[in-house]
Amino acid sequence: MNLISIPAFQDNYIWLLDDQQGRCVIVDPGEAPPVLAALQRLQLTPDAILLTHHHHDHVGGVAQIVAQYPALPVYGPQETADKGATQVVKGGDTIDVGGRNYQVMAVPGHTLGHIAFYSAPYLFCGDTLFSAGCGRLFEGTAGQMYHSLQQFMQLPDNTLICCAHEYTLANLKFARAILPQDRQIETYQQQVEALRAKGQPSLPTTLQLERKINVFLRCHDTDLQKELGFNSPPDDLASAFSELRRRKDTF
């Protein structure tokens, strides 16, 4: 398989997963023109569109793409049924697209109906997990988001995390403010700064890396807990996550 990121808007990525036989899957097409241009340039025919949630920067291009490919199935959660989804799916479902199975994961937090699609090693997680960060809580609770991220933590280290936004540098700046002595975070920040200076994306990232540099996946870390004001480990790690998310929202 060949994974392709298509820049959109200011900092979005639309993903194509190309089977290298002329077919592909489109994930979260917020706008159509760059997707249609890529399909033409790469001579690809889409097998399906996958939607993770209902926000416009993830679904805005569906209608125009489907107009070009009228029989194209669009898989998404119930909240996208009025945004172009023709096949409503939910956590626990498995779908077959182009001969490849995708596990649907319910990951509420950013929105209540947010889902992710996992087909090893690819995780299309929309706005739930970012490199060095996680999504804002527009509809769900901190507890829901924490438990959604814990689902991802059960996946293999080699999972390729296909986030929908290039937020990595901003997230690393926050992480450095929380854990200024953490050398892994500092080193990775320097690496991403070099990448971005060349106009290169920081994504996809790997779960193995995120376990080390993403503070939102490290709520079990006693050093992090102390920085957040917990003198002893909290009974519920979601409370540490909630405090971390609160600080990020006001950073």
Catalytic residue positions?
A: 53, 55, 57-58, 110, 127, 165
Q: Cα 41 to chain center, whole Å?
A: 26
Residue whose C-alpha is closest to residue 124's, from 27, 202, 59:
27
Distance set, CA 176 to CA 6, 7, 8, 9 (Å): 29, 27, 28, 27
> Identity (one letter) of the amino acid at 49?
I
- Residue 131 token pair: 């490199």
C-beta of residue 75 within 8 angstroms of C-beta of residue 49: yes
> What does DSSP say about strands 87-88 and 94-97: parallel, antiparallel, or unpaired?
unpaired
Residue whose C-alpha is closest to residue 242's, from 53, 152, 109, 108:
109
> Identity (one letter) of the amino acid at 68?
Q
C-beta of residue 72 within 8 angstroms of C-beta of residue 66: yes
